[in-house]
Amino acid sequence: MSDIRILAIESSCDETAAAVVENGRHVRSNIISTQIPIHTLYGGVVPEIASRKHIERMDQVIEQALAEAECTLSDLDAIAVTYGPGLVGALLCGVAEAKAIAFAAGLPLVGVHHIEGHISANYIEYPDLEPPFICLVVSGGHTHLVRVSDYGSYEILGRTVDDAAGEAFDKVARAIGLGYPGGPKVEKKALEGDPDAIAFPKAHVTGSDYDFSFSGLKSAVLNYMNGCKMRGETYNEADIAASFQKAVVGALTDHAVMAIEEFGVKKLALAGGVASNGAFRESVRSACEERGVEFYCPSPILCTDNAAMIGAAAYYEFIAGRRSGWDLNAVPALKLGERA
Ligand code: KG4
Ligand code: ZN
């Protein structure tokens, strides 16, 4: 079979990204234009600004991805695009662009689920990795524990019932004055602090062992800070960051271990922006090592939003014969496993 080359587009949040991926595993180019400096001014992502910036940058990002991959449209087999979940306006920019290019070039269109993309980043990092495995997807919008039984086949074991873990990082960062995006800033601050300084709670969701809850933890951090202020005491931001990070990492690791033990899986993968956190990677890696489980985690650049992961996911959709129609639309609350 000849090589299958896919141009993938990702614009679900605040990164405008395009990549050319061969056979789902080999990245020929991976261009990411981040909007973080713009949204930092407002303390978080402003959806209208995100859409406008995607429109401004999209063509250039795609041209660069094709140029770096030394490809023209005639060298491609398909155009892939994230169509959900995400910000509706931001998603629409990518979906409209992908449809226009695919239609003009006479190429098939493959709509991709953003979380499926995050999971598939592992296929790029580990060319020999094959399902079945369990994947803990932890990002700014999602915290999902997923059983990947085959390519494109997912069972959600647990998910957050309130805030995503990355969202909790972002909110706590804002509360302690670190700014946006919070994850990397909290991680850096935590290096100077004592993770055992403050005992923040690890939430348990009644009736569902695999679900997560992070809003209580975020409130516990805010209450701790308010309590200090009311008593006229100062608090140590580094200790808060380190103790908060320990609580999040502990909850995530506990769930992963529970799944390993219950399902007897031999492989565990991480995915999503929070998986670029060193303390989190190390905690799950050592839990896996103790139990003789293979541990997988993409490089940080493949953990945060990018289009190469969409190209990897699209390849398995493509070879399974799945195509999207010209009526493909953005689906902001698309569920994993649901297809347009
Ligand atoms: O996967 P991603 O780029 O976008 C979504 O699909 O949401 O994840 C972004 C999230 C943000 O909440 C960001 O604060 C968090 O990932 N994040 C981190 C780190 N780097 C990014 N959280 C903790 N530690 C990090 N080093
Ligand atoms: Zn993402």
Q: Are residues 139 and 280 in the same domain?
A: yes
Q: Are residues 101 and 203 in the same domain?
A: no
Task: Let me know if residue 192 belongs to a domain.
Answer: yes
Task: Let me know if residue 339 belongs to a domain.
Answer: no
Q: Are residues 271 and 164 in the same domain?
A: yes
Q: Are residues 186 and 256 in the same domain?
A: yes
Distances (CA, A) of 303 to 36, 60, 136, 244: 16, 23, 12, 21
| CATH code (residue 204) | 3.30.420.40
Ligand 1 atom 13 nearest Cα: 183
Q: Are residues 59 and 139 in the same domain?
A: no
Distances (CA, A) of 212 to 156, 202, 252, 267: 12, 10, 8, 21
Q: Are residues 282 and 310 in the same domain?
A: no
CA angle, 231 then 232 then 237, to 5°? 100
Task: Let me know if residue 58 belongs to a domain.
Answer: yes
Ligand 1 atom 19 nearest Cα: 183
Distances (CA, A) of 56 to 33, 79, 81, 138: 11, 20, 18, 29
d(CA 316, CA 334) in angstroms, rounded, equals: 19
Query: Distance from the CA of 140 to the center of ligand 1, in angstroms?
Result: 5
Q: Which atom of ligand 1 is nearest to the CA of 303?
A: 1
Question: In the numeric block, which tokens belong to residue 100?
Answer: 């226009």
Q: Are residues 227 and 289 in the same domain?
A: yes
Among the bound ligands, name the one nearest to the CA of residue 45. 1
Among the bound ligands, name the one nearest to the CA of residue 32. 1
Query: Distance from the CA of 305 to the center of ligand 2, in angstroms?
Result: 5
List the beta strands (DSSP E) in 167-309. Answer: 267-271, 294-296
Q: Which atom of ligand 1 is nearest to the CA of 305?
A: 3
Q: Are strands 133-138 and 109-113 parallel, antiparallel or unpaired?
A: unpaired
Ligand 1 first shell, C-beta below 6 A = 13, 139-141, 166-167, 169-170, 181-184, 187, 272-274, 276-277, 304-305
Q: Are residues 164 and 95 in the same domain?
A: no
Query: Distance from the CA of 153 to the center of ligand 1, in angstroms?
Result: 25
Q: Are residues 270 and 165 in the same domain?
A: yes
d(CA 200, CA 94) in angstroms, rounded, equals: 40
Q: Which atom of ligand 1 is nearest to the CA of 276?
A: 26
Report the predicted TM-score, pTM, of the whole model to 2 decimal places: 0.96
Task: Let me know if residue 258 belongs to a domain.
Answer: yes
> Tens digit of pLDDT per residue, the chain (340 long)?
689 999 999 999 999 999 999 999 999 999 999 998 899 888 888 999 999 999 999 999 999 999 999 999 999 999 999 999 999 999 999 999 999 999 999 999 999 999 999 999 999 999 999 999 999 999 999 999 999 999 999 999 999 999 999 999 999 999 999 988 899 999 999 999 999 999 998 877 888 889 999 999 999 999 999 999 999 999 999 999 999 999 999 999 999 999 999 999 899 999 999 999 999 999 999 999 999 999 999 999 999 999 999 999 999 999 999 999 999 999 999 999 877 6
Q: Which atom of ligand 1 is nearest to the CA of 139?
A: 8
* Other Cβ atoms closer than 10 A to 75: 14
Q: Are residues 112 and 171 in the same domain?
A: no
Find where tokens 């990947």 sit. Answer: 148
Task: Let me know if residue 338 belongs to a domain.
Answer: no
Question: In the numeric block, which tokens belong to residue 37?
Answer: 């400096």
The domain total for the chain is 2
Q: Which of 116, 129, 203 is CA-nearest to residue 156?
A: 116
Q: Is 23 exposed, middle or buried (0-12, 13-18, 19+ CB in 10 A)?
A: middle
Among the bound ligands, name the one nearest to the CA of residue 166. 1
What is the enclosing helix (H) or strand (E) of 247?
helix 237-263
d(CA 60, CA 201) in angstroms, rounded, equals: 46
Residue to probe by mutation, ligand 1, list 170, 174, 248, 274, most atoms within 8 Å of CB: 274
Query: Distance from the CA of 281 to the center of ligand 1, in angstroms?
Result: 13
Task: Let me know if residue 60 belongs to a domain.
Answer: yes
For the sheet with 5-10, list strands across it.
26-34, 15-22, 5-10, 78-84, 109-113
Q: Determine the structural domain holding residue 43 and report its residue range.
A: 5-120+303-319
Distances (CA, A) of 7 to 125, 156, 228: 18, 28, 52
Query: Distance from the CA of 252 to the center of ligand 1, in angstroms?
Result: 14
Which three-class secondary structure state does DSSP give residue 324? strand
Query: Distance from the CA of 274 to the center of ligand 1, in angstroms?
Result: 4
Q: Are residues 180 and 283 in the same domain?
A: yes
Q: State the Cα torsion 161-166-172-176 to the nearest 10°.
A: 180
243-264 core/surface letters (b: 16 or more CB in 10 A; e: else): bbbbbbbebbbbbbbebbeeee
Q: Are residues 58 and 71 in the same domain?
A: yes
Ligand 1 atom 7 nearest Cα: 140
